[in-house]
Chain A
Amino acid sequence: MVQDEVLTVRGLRKRYRGRRGVQANDGIDLDVRAGQVVGLLGHNGAGKTTLVNQVVGLVLPDEGTIVLDGIDAVARPGQARARTSIQAQANVPITGLTPRLAIELVGRLRGGERSAVRARAGELIEALDLSPWADTRAEKVSGGIARLTAFAMTVVQPGRLVVLDEPTNDVDPVRRRLLWQQIRRLADEGAGVLLVTHNVREAERVVDRLAILDHGVVLAADTPAGLTASRQGTLTVELDLLPGATVTWPDGVLARGSSRMREAASVPAEDAAEVVRWAQRQVQQGAIERYSLVPASLEDVYVDLVEAERHDAPAEEVAA
């Protein structure tokens, strides 16, 4: 299995210089194997894009190693790029071209043979439901379609490693599903996929592993099941309040946050039936509009982890 390693990052550090220097990556270890989708989660500014840019050789690490398909990506960025395809966080400007043309040209630039690239481009356009826009001038195409086009440009001739920096942004729910299918397929066909996303709920069902990044450090890396294990046996109750109403949670329920007209809490699974009865009474009394009970999600785990880190290390902000 060792030779299946497509990306191995060890001890990666990067500090952006300047008046207020930023330690964007502070000792990152990360692995992506062939056939795996590895999700990378983390708050805005956690250092995800910085990590990705070092992998493709746009940013030079201060310390640490990046081995990409057996190549030292820090010393040989050119060879590393030949093995990687990346969808950047910012959209690629393709004004003057049509989505289909852009996808085909990039496929050929990556070394694809003309007819094979044409066939694959057609297939992707079909699979992502881009056909109505495929031959429209890019300046008349909507943001989500542009995003999907950028995805197709990345995977038309995929490298051993495919890096996707927030591919689902701007994309509608129906096409998002199609997109997730394509991402899964890439890995199933043998690529290693590194996926940066804020869409925890949807990513959960597609990724094999997840790494959670916080202020340039990996807080946790595991399978989705492994990450949620600590919260097994707990469920999340969510309430939609009616205007003006307030609720007092019954005993044994742990309030987990509220926003305008919404409340959430976690409940041990064995108390769930009781809480449902309680919630039903609240509905009848006109305090809440509706409620739902869901298994503890990865999103909860993620929020927990990040919050725990905040409380543990309040001095961090000062140091930065």
Chain B
Amino acid sequence: MTAVRQTLLLAQWQFRRQSTFLPLLVVVQVFIAVATVVGYGLLVGDPPPEVALYLATGAPTITLITVGLVMTPQLLAQSKTEGSLDWMRTLPVPRGLFLASDLLVWTVLALPGMVLGVLVGAARFDIELSIAPWLVPATLLVSMTAAAVGYALASVLPPPLANLVTQMLVFVVLLFSPVSYPAERMPTWLQQVHEWAPIEPMAQLVRAGLAQDAFSISGRSLLVLVVWCLVATGAAALALRRRV
């Protein structure tokens, strides 16, 4: 009970501290989501229905991943540099709750962009979605994993390096991941890398949740995703607990 209360209070602290930037942040999220759909649409011209469906169901994953993998580490890096993290670590709050509250904040922030991305995609390409009942928990898992990986990155790396790495990751996610196009288009070695990376399972899970008639996710992918989530959360929690 106290844990929930403390998590909500911490989330409130983070939310209010960012309050001046929050509206802008949400706008940027929405923009990224819409731009992915429309931009890729321009790249591929007037796509056939399967390609269009692929694109429209990949866009929300891109939003979720960029929030988790970019925003989370950048804010953690910032709070390291400005000294908030050290101060927070002196509070009588279990270490895991910092992680929980940050994940909560980022998941909530990612939602508007994601929803709008889906709607715009469906309208632009005139596709039929078939939403699975487990879409919401699936989205949470994806969002948590992305944020946990980002958090772990920023916990382990020094701030400037963390910022660089996350910027590179966005590039990888946008262009070199099987999110907006099928994996078969990538060179074999990259396909193999993605079999073990969390990005493809994330895309598959969201895709299957949005259009369950057309797509599904294999048990193996789901397992890869869950393992990533656990390992990243554990690493971040360990880093928060570390004493120099």
Contact = CB atoms under 8 A, between A and B. Distances in A.
Interface residues of A, number: 30
Contacts of A88: 83, 86-87, 90
A106 B244 CA distance: 25
A277 B243 CA distance: 61
B187 interface: no
A92 B91 CA distance: 12
B92 A58 contact: no
Given A90-B83, A92-B83, A93-B83, A77 B243 contact: yes
Interface of B: 2, 5-6, 9-10, 12-13, 16-20, 79, 82-84, 86-87, 89-95, 243-244
Say whether chain B's binding surface is mostly helix, strand, loop, or mixed: helix
B89 A110 contact: no
B84 A93 contact: yes
Contact of A110 (B17, B83, B91): B91
Interface of A: 16, 56-60, 77-78, 81-84, 86, 88, 90-97, 101, 105-106, 108-111, 159
Nearest to A95: B17
Contacts of B91: 81, 106, 109-110
21 contacts: A56-B90, A58-B243, A59-B243, A78-B92, A78-B94, A81-B91, A82-B92, A84-B90, A86-B90, A88-B87, A92-B83, A92-B84, A92-B87, A93-B79, A93-B82, A93-B83, A97-B16, A101-B16, A105-B9, A106-B91, A108-B5
Which among A109, A110, A111 has the highest number of chain B CB atoms within 10 Å? A109
Contact of B9 (A92, A95, A109, A159): A109
A97 B86 CA distance: 18
A105 B17 CA distance: 12
A103 to B, nearest CB: 12
A319 B243 CA distance: 26
Given A57-B243, A96-B20, A101-B16, A110 B92 contact: yes
Nearest to A98: B16
